[in-house]
């Protein structure tokens, strides 16, 4: 009997949905190598492989059989997806299956710029109306980050609050890296925001000054000369940034105590771009010093800077879209992948609780 590969659920499904992979019709104890590949929207190919051994019945089920080697090892049912690695060489999303209105979220990415829609599209599949918002390097927006104006983001908030598919009276914010400190500023100065999630972000305004009406928040001081180079020749920028608590940086700190709603900080403890855990603790101490609720902080060991939805291959290093050079982000592949699964659930639970009135049903397992 010829060997047959089965993937369940069959057909198309969202990237954050686990799939079950099995093989039947093998010889008992037969060595097997499974390979996965895909091309992204730019045509770049990603590959992963793992070696297994069939059981006594000639079957292989990745939910029960540990990988013996390859791109990963051990019991990792989704390893062929999260282990994918590259070969050498403003969009609004609405729930697909519902009438009426849904909790609204604005989604911001980091200093690479452009319009990133994959996270927004996946959240839309979980009952949210999401606006993926670019703020430079897209269409008629500036090519590079210069002085930024919070009024641009205020327009996006008002757009969402008035949208017929958005369930008011408020919305949530989700930001990663530079997009995270922008979300903190939006939550602190703009109305109509009652839930904010930031992923590996700073508590000070970074990179460029931020303007709002007659106010200017200077950017956190930095010294590019403090960068380090790994043994592999990849740049590490973590030491470039000044300590936000130093006197000359006090004006760059974002006044989180002005925000109307709670915060969730997602922190990778192996973040090689920012001192994200330190920044989250600064936020917690500042909020409590002003008599505000302590933020929820979830820390993930072995997890780097780029925390994506489940089963996305961990981005441990890549050529930065603006800097044009390879930058290290950190993270151990297996731990980082597990963190992405848990963080994705935590983000949805937080937003459902604070935007939709649903109680939290799961605590972090990590």
Q: What percent of the chain has pLDDT over 90?
A: 70
Does the pLDDT value for residue 88 go beyond 50? no
Does the pLDDT value for residue 361 go beyond 50? no
Q: Alpha-carbon distance 117 to 103, whole Å?
A: 18
Q: Alpha-carbon distance 269 to 330, whole Å?
A: 9
Give the strand pairing for 45-53 and 85-86: antiparallel
Residues 193, 108 contacting (CB under 8 angstroms): no
Q: Which tokens go with 153?
A: 């983001």
Catalytic residue, from 271, 276, 342, 352: name it. 271
Pick among 3.30.70.141, 3.40.50.1100, 1.25.40.10, 3.40.50.1820: CATH of 106-356: 3.40.50.1820
Catalytic residue, from 177, 236, 252, 273: name it. 177
Mean pLDDT of the residues in the chain: 90
**Residue 139: band (very low, low, confident or very high) from pLDDT cuts 50, 70, 90:** confident
Q: Which residue has the higher pLDDT, 366 or 155?
A: 155
Catalytic residue, from 107, 111, 129, 305: name it. 305
Whether this model's pTM surpasses 0.85: no
Does the pLDDT value for residue 150 go beyond 70? yes
Is 214 catalytic? The answer is: no
Q: Do domains 4-86 and 106-356 have the same CATH topology?
A: no
Domain borders along the chain are 4-86, 106-356
pLDDT of amino acid 2 = 84
**Residue 317: band (very low, low, confident or very high) from pLDDT cuts 50, 70, 90:** confident
Residues 140, 85 contacting (CB under 8 angstroms): no
Q: Which tokens go with 18?
A: 């686990």
State the average pLDDT over residues 202-212. Answer: 96
Is 177 catalytic? The answer is: yes
112: closest CA among 324, 343, 346, 349?
Answer: 324
State the average pLDDT over residues 209-214. Answer: 95
Does the pLDDT value for residue 158 go beyond 50? yes
Helix 178-189 and helix 150-162, axial crossing angle in degrees, nearest 10: 70
Does the pLDDT value for residue 46 go beyond 90? no
Q: List, for residues 92-134, the tens digit of each pLDDT value.
A: 777 766 678 999 999 999 988 889 999 999 999 999 999 999 9
Is 284 catalytic? The answer is: no
Q: Which tokens go with 242?
A: 């000044």
Considering the domain 4-86, what is its CATH architecture?
Answer: Sandwich (2.60)
Q: List, for residues 332-344, the tens digit of each pLDDT value.
A: 999 999 999 999 9
């Amino acid at each position: 009997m010829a060997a047959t590969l089965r993937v369940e659920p069959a057909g198309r499904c969202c990237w954050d949905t686990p799939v079950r992979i099995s093989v039947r019709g093998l010889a008992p104890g037969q060595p097997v190598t499974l390979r996965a590949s895909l091309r992204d929207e730019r045509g770049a190919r990603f590959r992963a492989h793992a070696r297994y051994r069939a059981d006594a019945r000639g079957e292989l089920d990745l939910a029960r059989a540990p990988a013996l080697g390859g791109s990963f090892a051990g019991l990792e049912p989704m390893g062929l997806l999260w282990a994918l690695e590259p070969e050498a060489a403003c969009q609004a999303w609405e729930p697909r299956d519902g009438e009426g209105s849904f909790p609204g979220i604005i989604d911001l990415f980091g200093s690479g710029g452009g319009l990133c829609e994959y996270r927004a599209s996946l959240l839309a599949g979980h009952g949210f109306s999401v606006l993926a918002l670019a703020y430079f390097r897209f269409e008629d927006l500036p090519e590079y980050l210069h002085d930024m104006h919070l009024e641009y983001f205020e327009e996006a908030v008002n757009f969402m609050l008035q949208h017929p598919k958005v369930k008011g009276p408020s919305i949530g914010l989700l930001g990663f890296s530079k997009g995270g400190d922008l979300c903190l500023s939006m939550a602190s100065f703009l109305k109509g925001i009652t839930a904010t999630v930031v992923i590996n972000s700073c508590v000070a305004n970074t990179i460029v000054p931020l303007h709002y009406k007659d106010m200017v928040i200077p950017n956190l001081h930095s010294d590019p000369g403090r960068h380090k180079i790994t043994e592999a020749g990849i740049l590490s920028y973590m030491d470039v940034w000044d300590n936000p608590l130093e006197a000359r940086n006090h004006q760059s700190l974002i006044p989180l105590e002005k925000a109307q709603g709670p915060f969730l900080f997602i922190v990778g403890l192996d973040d090689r771009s920012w001192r994200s855990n330190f920044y989250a603790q600064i936020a917690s101490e500042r909020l409590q010093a002003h008599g505000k609720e302590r933020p929820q902080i979830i820390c993930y060991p072995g997890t780097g800077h780029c925390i994506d939805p489940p089963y996305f291959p961990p981005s441990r290093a890549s050529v930065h879209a603006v800097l044009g050079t390879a930058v290290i982000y950190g993270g151990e592949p297996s731990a980082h992948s597990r963190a992405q699964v848990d963080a994705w659930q935590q983000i949805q639970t937080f937003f459902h609780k604070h935007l939709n009135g649903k109680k939290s049903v799961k605590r972090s397992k990590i």
